[in-house]
Structure 1
Amino acid sequence: MENQEPHLALANKLYLLKHPDVEDIEKVRLRDEVYNAVVSDDMVLLYENLVADGVLKLDQQLLDSMRAKNEEELKKLDEKIADAEENLGESEVREAHLAKSLFYIRISDKEKALEQLKLTESKTVAVGQKMDLVFYTLQMGFFYMDFDLISKSIDKAKNLFEEGGDWERKNRLKVYEGLFCMSTRNFKKAANLFLDSISTFTTYELFTYDTFIFYTVLTSIISLDRVSLKQKVVDAPEILAVIGKIPYLSEFLNSLYDCQYKLFFSAFAGLTTHIKLDRYLHPHFRYYMREVRTVVYSQFLESYKSVTIEAMAKAFGVTVDFIDMELSRFIAAGKLHCKIDKVAGVLETNRPDSKNALYQATIKQGDFLLNRIQKLSRVIDL
């Protein structure tokens, strides 16, 4: 099994170093690992940034020696390019340029790496090789969380696939796009892309298969209806094989599907730490919490025309006041279709009838169409 791309592993450690929930003793270990990674790859710019942020202490001698090493390496790479251009063929010229791109990526000099990748691309003919350059760019995008760069690169990759391209790379792109959608709060699209890639997953450079399943389950729970969830997630053999390894995930998924709401909430509480410590999910933590609760409350209310608040509180293992406060917020936000009768202590559901809604929409569109036809006939009469 391949390992995570070293830069993305480093990005994760940098994220945890700044996280308030990570213990100090853990941060000491992380700081050492970050220091070793930065020094072993001579990442001058990143080192300077980390010194400025107070994460690492400045060692001028080390900084000078890293700079000297980089200059020496660059000289060699430029000599190779010059030699290839004078004495060798096109593919050797391309390889020499690619080596320089990879060098800039390694020392995490984003601007120069992007420039050099462009230059390498101009010397690249094969669609597959052009795609690989896009994957390098995407990995950089995720390292810096540069969503603009990621979005443009995904569009570029899709255009390349119109010229051709193999299935393996197409499947890899789905996971990259899924991660982008998840990081930009488009959970529904992320869930579909992840579910499409379950049996063809090969993008270990982004994350492990366990993490991939974790993302797939989380995004699916708030995106799929009950029937699809059962079919694509609860019963999926690929998910069943791994889900037990991730603490609380199996309970989270199955208790929701089996309507065991008390168990669901305790599993959810267990998962929150995992979500908070994830650099892609953390910014959407509160949003995700709200969405999950909407799903679970809707599912509970779906079964009743009316139900006492007390019965609902009991089912969820929380107090009546908590449910009352929660639901009133969700109802006000238009997330739940029910009303609270505070005097009788009852919840009454007023689900919009889908047939009725369809009927109203048809009438409205019919009127709109008639108006358009009348306007058109006036124009034609003239």
Structure 2
Amino acid sequence: MATLYPPYCEKFGWMMDEKAAEDMRARNEARVAELDAKIKDAEDNLGDSEVRDAMLAKAEFFAEVGDRESALAAFDACEKKTVAIGQKMEMVFSVMRLCIFHDDWVALEKQIAKLKDLLEQPGGADWERKNRLKVYEGVYKMARRDFAGATSLFLESLSTFTTYELMTYDEFVFYAVACAVVSLKRTELKAKVIDSPEVLAVIDNIAGGSVRDMVNSLHACKYREFMLAFPNAADAVNKSTWLHAHHRYFLREARVAAYAQYLASYKSVTVASMASSFCVSEEFIDAELSNFIVEGRLNVRIDKVNGVLVTNRPDAKNALYQSYIKEGDHLLNRIQKLSRVIDL
């Protein structure tokens, strides 16, 4: 990966080995010359299919060594020689992996749209590729913090997963469960994740079982166990390739889900009781809830004098009534303004 070596040295403060860099470039140039010779031989002595295969090998080599610009140009040239829809789709998958490696999510979105268009063309309907696309699109949504969309796509792919070029099945289940914890309701979490045979088959192997303990204890309302398992599960999220950037968001959303679930069971509860349930100090709970209340994430009021938390459940019907009144007044005001214009 001679193309990536210099910028990585600059990024991480490494001392670049000029001799090693020159050696890598020389080896790459030799390999490219060899591939160009195969392309020339195919053009002179073989057919279009062999030419296309030789061009694809060159494009895949550029992708393998991290030379993104050369790889994209080579894939584009190869696509012009490709007739079969299936082969075109495989090249799009290769370009998508290149986009994911370089964290280019804007380009990945365009490639997803391109692949969906190919799937709609005559001869493009392929269930295996459609299922693989769901995983790629799920990774895109997860990286863009659309956890609800990613969860839906990942859960649909649990029983049809074949995208081993991106991740192992254990890693895939981890991503599905992590996204589900912060996006699904408690009943859906039970039906779609906790009781899923595909999840049950591997969840014990993920992060030393901490992810299993976290999701099961959250559903079972065992908040002490949840808080004990949560740090290890959060560490796994922090070490994840695509969830690392959303580590703080995951920490916040998972805690909000647990706090809201606990408070939904009470009209009022003491701070000491909640702190004991979550195996933390009263000061910690007070600070946590204060932040979430200010952000409008929890419907609860803290009675600091009596050390009590008073839940304030929103009245959906009353809120809808108030909304209708407000919108009705706005409409009447606009009608009155319009009538004055018409009278003039």
CA distance in 2, matches of 1:71, 1:241: 46
Q: Which moved more, 1:87-96 or 1:321-330?
A: 87-96
Matched, 1:104 2:62: yes
CA distance in 1, matches of 2:326, 2:193: 38
2:99 to 141, 145, 149: 141
CA distance in 2, matches of 1:266, 1:171: 36
CA distance in 2, matches of 1:369, 1:117: 56
CA distance in 1, matches of 2:195, 2:222: 18
Asked if structure 2 preserves the Cα contact closer than 8 Å seen for 1:102 and 1:113, the reply is yes
Residues 85 and 358 of structure 1: is their aligned pair in 2 closer, same or farther, counting only changes over 3 Å?
farther
What is the aligned partner in structure 1 of residue 175 from structure 2?
Answer: 215
Indicate the RMSD between aligned Cα atoms, in angstroms.
Answer: 2.4
Matched, 1:58 2:17: yes
CA distance in 1, matches of 2:67, 2:227: 45
CA distance in 2, matches of 1:363, 1:227: 34
- When normalised by structure 2's length, the TM-score is 0.90
Letter aligned with residue 147 of structure 2: F
1:224 to 164, 184, 192: 184
What is the aligned partner in structure 2 of residue 169 from structure 1?
Answer: 129
| Higher RCO structure (Cα 8 Å, ≥6 apart) | 1
- Summarize the alignment of residues 304-343 of structure 1 with structure 2, pairs less than 5 Å apart: 304-343=266-305
Matched, 1:88 2:50: no
How far does residue 241 in structure 1 lie from its aligned partner after superposition? Answer: 1.1
- Summarize the alignment of residues 1-382 of structure 1 with structure 2, pairs less than 5 Å apart: 43-52=1-10, 53-55=12-14, 57-58=16-17, 60=19, 62-163=20-121, 164-246=124-206, 247=208, 248-365=210-327
Residues 326 and 51 of structure 1: is their aligned pair in 2 closer, same or farther, counting only changes over 3 Å?
closer
Asked if structure 2 preserves the Cα contact closer than 8 Å seen for 1:50 and 1:56, the reply is no
How big is each residue's C-alpha offset from its partner over 1:53-94, in whole Å with a ceiling of 9 and x where there is no partner? 44465151x444433332232223223323333443332232
- When normalised by structure 1's length, the TM-score is 0.82
Letter aligned with residue 79 of structure 2: E
Letter aligned with residue 203 of structure 1: T
Residues 321 and 119 of structure 1: is their aligned pair in 2 closer, same or farther, counting only changes over 3 Å?
same
Asked if structure 2 preserves the Cα contact closer than 8 Å seen for 1:337 and 1:350, the reply is yes
Asked if structure 2 preserves the Cα contact closer than 8 Å seen for 1:51 and 1:58, the reply is no
Letter aligned with residue 178 of structure 2: L
Count of residues paired in the alignment: 339
How far does residue 326 in structure 1 lie from its aligned partner after superposition? Answer: 0.8
Q: Which moved more, 1:158-167 or 1:108-117?
A: 158-167
Letter aligned with residue 298 of structure 1: A
CA distance in 2, matches of 1:200, 1:258: 29
Residues 292 and 68 of structure 1: is their aligned pair in 2 closer, same or farther, counting only changes over 3 Å?
same
SS in 2 for 1:339: strand
How far does residue 253 in structure 1 lie from its aligned partner after superposition? Answer: 0.6
CA distance in 2, matches of 1:56, 1:50: 10
How big is each residue's C-alpha offset from its partner over 1:159-209, in whole Å with a ceiling of 9 and x where there is no partner? 222223311111111111111211221111111111111111111111111
Letter aligned with residue 288 of structure 1: F
Letter aligned with residue 121 of structure 1: E
SS in 1 for 2:61: helix
How far does residue 377 in structure 1 lie from its aligned partner after superposition? Answer: 9.0
SS in 2 for 1:44: coil
How far does residue 289 in structure 1 lie from its aligned partner after superposition? Answer: 0.6
SS in 2 for 1:125: coil
SS in 1 for 2:301: strand
How big is each residue's C-alpha offset from its partner over 1:247-266, in whole Å with a ceiling of 9 and x where there is no partner? 21111011000000010000
